[in-house]
């Protein structure tokens, strides 16, 4: 009874703990989603502000250019008006003298209400002879003109302490040695520029709001693939599942291409992980068998207690040890092959490059496998049109790779068939072909026969590493390994080594 109550209480605790864990995971997932949403919003705002800032800066630059252009044009118009009035007075002085000029100035000062101006006539020592100014310009200090000697063709500015605008005057020499100065205010020019600036600022405020909204919308659309990418990465990190994919939208932009590339990367990683899991499962399975045999043989030998002074027991003990060594050699050979393949694929395999005759090495392999081939009635032949030159490569690795291909050809060749080995060469490469008329390779197996630990349905005893080693050794030499096969009609394996220039 107490045991049952304890078990029931323990079950309740476990259920509560599981509920808490599920709630914590849900809460953590919700927090991650909230953080992701905040990050996305901040990113959208940053991009929209950047977009708006670029727009503001562009508008400000354009406004500055337009402002300077309009200001310069109005200033030139004002100076042209001053010069026209000075030339008119100069013509009057030329024809009627100084008195006639004074009378004309008095008349013009009375009539010029829309565009007021001042006129000053000075002698050669810059002493003022005539000075006619509108009454509302009395705040200007015209004595400043006497401090600066007149310079024909130049313009002088006068400032006032109470008025915002300036007076700009030009100078022209008269025939009697005096100087004529005529000046106008830049009040109208300033009024136009202030109106332009106010209109620009009002328009800019509207455009700022519009550009910020447009930037936010554009940035959300532009960053949508990035958000999908972030969600996919977070999902992979959180769940460890890499089979999820990002929805690919129609488009040829860089962001859309990034999504496509990311999906391709996930597919490649998934393929590698599946291959790695399969390889680990195969290695575990292949190692379990020899290790189990090793243990059984050792236990059987150790279970004998009468091996002392017992020839039969001693012989059985010796046989068990031989079997154990053989099984350990199998494991060691598998580990060595896996390490060799990994080093070759990663480019760290050390190669002892020497010059040798491939024909001599092939003859050694023919002699080695000839007895095995004869047991099955297979004719192991060397092509008569064989190349007899030399090549540079790692001789031992070459022998290892070629030996695997010859071994497979003899092993999977049909009884009474033939295996032909040939060598050809050109300026770029040396190629060795091993052709058999055996059972061939199915079309489904052809793309995967070079993978580690892959064994087809018709494969016999072996580790499934031979062809992987061949391919890895060829890559380490910068060469290639290829196969042509028709199921039921035989196969042709070709390995090609590059020729050093």
Dump pLDDT digits (tens) for 55-105: 778 888 888 888 888 888 888 888 888 888 888 888 888 888 888 888 787
Q: Residue 453's pLDDT band (boundaries 50, 70, 90)?
A: low
User: What's residue 25's pLDDT?
Assistant: 42
Q: For residues 459 and 411, give the distance between their C-alpha atoms in angstroms, rounded to a whole number.
A: 9
Torsion of CA 309, 312, 318, 324, to 10 degrees: -130
Owner of token pair 């769940």: 239
Instruction: With a cut of 50, say whether residue 426 has pLDDT above it.
Output: yes
Q: Tell me, yes or no, if the pTM score tops 0.75.
A: no
User: What's residue 154's pLDDT?
Assistant: 85
> Which has more pLDDT, 78 or 233?
78
Instruction: With a cut of 80, say whether residue 480 has pLDDT above it.
Output: yes
Task: Please compute the mean of the pLDDT values over residues 450-472 and round it to a whole number.
Answer: 70
Which range, 13-27, 33-47, 300-314, 433-447, is most confident? 433-447
> Which has more pLDDT, 236 or 396?
396
Q: Residue 309's pLDDT band (boundaries 50, 70, 90)?
A: low
User: What's residue 27's pLDDT?
Assistant: 46
Task: Please compute the mean of the pLDDT values over residues 4-10 and round it to a whole number.
Answer: 37
Q: Residue 37's pLDDT band (boundaries 50, 70, 90)?
A: low
Strands 179-185 and 117-122: antiparallel
Instruction: With a cut of 60, say whether residue 36 has pLDDT above it.
Output: no
> Which has more pLDDT, 452 or 39?
452
Q: Residue 112's pLDDT band (boundaries 50, 70, 90)?
A: low
Half-sphere exposure of 59 (CA within 13 A, CB side): 17
pLDDT > 90: what percent of the chain? 2
314 Cβ neighbours under 8 A, 6+ residues apart: 307
Instruction: With a cut of 80, say whether residue 216 has pLDDT above it.
Output: no
Instruction: With a cut of 60, say whether residue 339 has pLDDT above it.
Output: yes
Of 446, 435, 447, 431, give the one whose Cα is nearest residue 398.
431
- DSSP secondary structure letter of residue 414: P
Task: Please compute the mean of the pLDDT values over residues 411-437 and round it to a whole number.
Answer: 88
Task: Please compute the mean of the pLDDT values over residues 454-477 and round it to a whole number.
Answer: 73
User: What's residue 313's pLDDT?
Assistant: 66
Q: Residue 14's pLDDT band (boundaries 50, 70, 90)?
A: very low
Q: For residues 84 and 80, give the distance between their C-alpha atoms in angstroms, rounded to a whole number.
A: 6
Q: Which residues pair with 121 in a beta bridge?
A: 130, 180
User: What's residue 475's pLDDT?
Assistant: 87
Question: Containing H/E element for 33?
Answer: helix 2-111
User: What's residue 285's pLDDT?
Assistant: 62
Q: To 10 degrees, what angle do helices 2-111 and 187-239 make?
A: 170
Query: Which domains does the chain possess?
Result: 2-190 (3.30.450.210), 254-346 (1.10.287), 353-498 (3.30.565.10)
Average predicted confidence (pLDDT) for the chain = 76
Provide φ and ψ at 232, rounded to 5°: -65, -45
> Which has more pLDDT, 414 or 322?
414
Q: Where are the beta strands (DSSP E) in 3-150?
A: 117-122, 128-132
Q: Contact 168/183 with Cβ under 8 angstroms?
A: yes
Task: Please compute the mean of the pLDDT values over residues 450-468 and round it to a whole number.
Answer: 67
Strands 117-122 and 391-394: unpaired
Q: For residues 357 and 253, give the distance between their C-alpha atoms in angstroms, rounded to a whole number.
A: 55
Which range, 14-18, 315-319, 386-390, 400-404, is most confident? 400-404
Q: How does pLDDT run across 251-302, given as a tens digit for each residue? A: 656 667 777 777 788 787 777 677 666 666 666 666 667 777 777 777 766 6
């Amino acid at each position: 009874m107490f045991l049952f109550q304890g078990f029931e209480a323990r079950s309740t605790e476990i259920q509560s703990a599981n509920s808490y864990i599920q709630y914590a995971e849900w809460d953590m997932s919700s927090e991650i989603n909230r953080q992701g949403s905040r990050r996305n919003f901040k990113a959208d705002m940053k991009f929209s502000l950047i977009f708006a800032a670029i727009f503001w800066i562009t508008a400000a630059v354009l406004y500055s250019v337009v402002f300077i252009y309009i200001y310069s044009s109005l200033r030139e118009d004002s100076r042209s008006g001053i010069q026209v009035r000075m030339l008119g007075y100069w013509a009057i002085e030329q024809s009627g003298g100084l008195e006639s000029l004074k009378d004309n100035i008095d008349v013009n000062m009375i009539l010029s209400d829309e565009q007021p101006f001042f006129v000053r006539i000075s002698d050669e020592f810059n002493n003022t002879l005539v000075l006619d100014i509108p009454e509302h310009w009395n705040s200007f200090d015209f004595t400043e003109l006497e401090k600066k000697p007149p310079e024909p063709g130049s313009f002088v500015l006068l400032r006032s302490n109470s008025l915002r605008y300036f007076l700009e005057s030009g100078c022209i020499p008269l025939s009697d040695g005096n100087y004529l100065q005529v000046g106008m205010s830049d009040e109208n020019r300033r009024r136009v520029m202030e109106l332009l600036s106010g209109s620009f600022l009002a328009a800019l405020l509207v455009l700022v709001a519009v550009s910020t909204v447009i930037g936010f919308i554009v940035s959300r659309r532009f960053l949508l693939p990035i958000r999908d990418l972030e969600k996919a990465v977070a999902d992979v990190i959180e769940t460890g599942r890499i089979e999820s994919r990002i929805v690919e939208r129609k488009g040829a932009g860089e962001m859309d291409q990034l999504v496509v590339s990311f999906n391709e990367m996930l597919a490649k990683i998934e393929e590698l992980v599946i291959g790695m899991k399969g390889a680990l499962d195969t290695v575990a399975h292949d190692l379990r068998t020899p290790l189990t045999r090793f243990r059984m043989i050792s236990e059987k030998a150790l279970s004998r207690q009468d091996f002392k002074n017992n020839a039969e027991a001693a012989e059985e003990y010796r046989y068990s040890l031989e079997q154990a060594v053989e099984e350990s050699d199998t494991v060691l050979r598998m580990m060595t092959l896996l390490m060799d393949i990994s080093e070759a694929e990663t480019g760290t395999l050390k190669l002892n490059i020497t010059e040798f005759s491939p024909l001599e090495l092939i003859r050694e392999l023919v002699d080695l496998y000839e007895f095995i081939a004869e047991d099955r009635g297979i004719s192991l032949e060397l092509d008569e049109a064989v190349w007899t030159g030399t090549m540079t490569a790692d001789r031992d690795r070459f022998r290892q790779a070629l030996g695997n291909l010859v071994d497979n050809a003899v092993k999977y060749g049909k009884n009474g068939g033939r295996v032909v080995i040939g060598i050809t060469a050109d300026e770029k490469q040396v190629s060795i072909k091993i052709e058999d008329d055996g059972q061939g390779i199915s079309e489904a197996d052809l793309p995967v026969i070079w993978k580690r630990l892959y064994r087809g349905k018709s494969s016999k005893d072996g580790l499934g590493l031979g062809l992987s080693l061949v391919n890895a050794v060829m890559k380490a030499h910068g060469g290639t390994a290829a196969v042509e096969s028709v199921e039921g009609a035989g196969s042709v394996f070709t390995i090609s080594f590059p020729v050093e220039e």
